[in-house]
């Protein structure tokens, strides 16, 4: 449910000077980030609520551990995303390009590109970057929200093909601290399943 699905595109092809400046500001702030760990709360418009821990080490590495429910974790590498179903003891693998995390995890942070449309707005001290793609495997809408003064990521919002909007908000974030390598190890049940 964190993957992009089909969604309608935004009609925002013409960037004003202000829009470009906001996008560049958010890109620059996020590029400076080396790591992030935080609690998160995920709320979907279908009524479901989840929570857990997020670990980000740029570039490429992201981990989401769900603690409510405790059935899922997500780990990324340079090219793929691993979705670990802890109950079914199964790991599904997808190209990172099919996920909304791709722009955040690249070596060079870039919130614009030829395959999607980007809009930006500044309101009440929050910069919103909205990226939309209406074709291909990565189709969908992702909105990233940053503080305008520090450029810190506050939350992201994903809209899918059936109209469900999922909002992930960060709680008590800690920036630029050392994160252990084992947090980003590839989940596997091969040894367990072979016994």
**What is the reported pLDDT for 2?**
41
| Per-residue pLDDT reduced to its tens digit, 143-189 | 999 998 888 999 999 887 667 899 999 999 999 999 999 999 988 88
Token pair belonging to 36: 């992030």
**What is the reported pLDDT for 164?**
80
3-state DSSP percent of the chain in helix, strand and coil, to 5: 15, 45, 40
64: buried, middle or exposed (CB in 10 Å: 19+, 13-18, 0-12)? buried
**What is the reported pLDDT for 80?**
92
**What is the reported pLDDT for 6?**
28
Give how far the C-alpha of residue 192 lies from the chain's centroid of Cα atoms, to the nearest Å.
30
Token pair belonging to 192: 């367990």
**What is the reported pLDDT for 69?**
74
Cβ neighbors of 48 (< 8 A, separation 6 or more) are none
**What is the reported pLDDT for 187?**
82
| Weakly modelled stretches of the chain, pLDDT under 50 | 1-14, 194-195
What's the predicted TM-score (pTM) here?
A: 0.83
Q: How many CB atoms lie within 10 A of CB 111?
A: 20
DSSP 23-42: HHHHHHHHHH--EEEEEEEE
Q: What are the distances in angstroms from CA 137 to CA 14, 24, 185?
A: 24, 26, 25
Alpha carbon distance 108, 32 (integer Å)? 10
Alpha carbon distance 24, 166 (integer Å)? 25
């Amino acid at each position: 449910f964190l993957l992009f699905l089909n969604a309608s595109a935004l009609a925002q092809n013409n960037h004003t000077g202000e829009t470009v400046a906001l996008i560049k500001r958010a890109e620059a702030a996020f590029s400076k980030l080396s790591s992030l760990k935080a609690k998160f709360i995920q709320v979907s418009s279908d009524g479901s609520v989840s929570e857990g821990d997020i670990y980000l080490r740029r570039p490429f590495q992201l981990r989401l551990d769900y603690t409510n429910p405790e059935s899922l974790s997500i780990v990324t590498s340079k090219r793929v995303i691993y979705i670990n179903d802890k109950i079914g003891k199964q790991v599904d693998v997808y190209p990172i390009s099919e996920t909304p995390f791709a722009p955040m995890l690249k070596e060079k942070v870039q919130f614009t590109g030829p395959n999607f449309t980007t809009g930006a707005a500044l309101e009440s001290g929050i910069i919103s970057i909205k990226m939309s793609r209406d074709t291909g495997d990565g189709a969908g809408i992702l909105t990233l929200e940053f503080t305008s003064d520090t450029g810190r990521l506050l939350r992201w919002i994903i809209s899918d093909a059936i109209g469900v909007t999922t909002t992930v908000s960060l709680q008590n974030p800690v920036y630029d601290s050392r994160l252990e390598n084992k947090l980003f190890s590839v989940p596997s049940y091969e040894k367990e399943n072979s016994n």
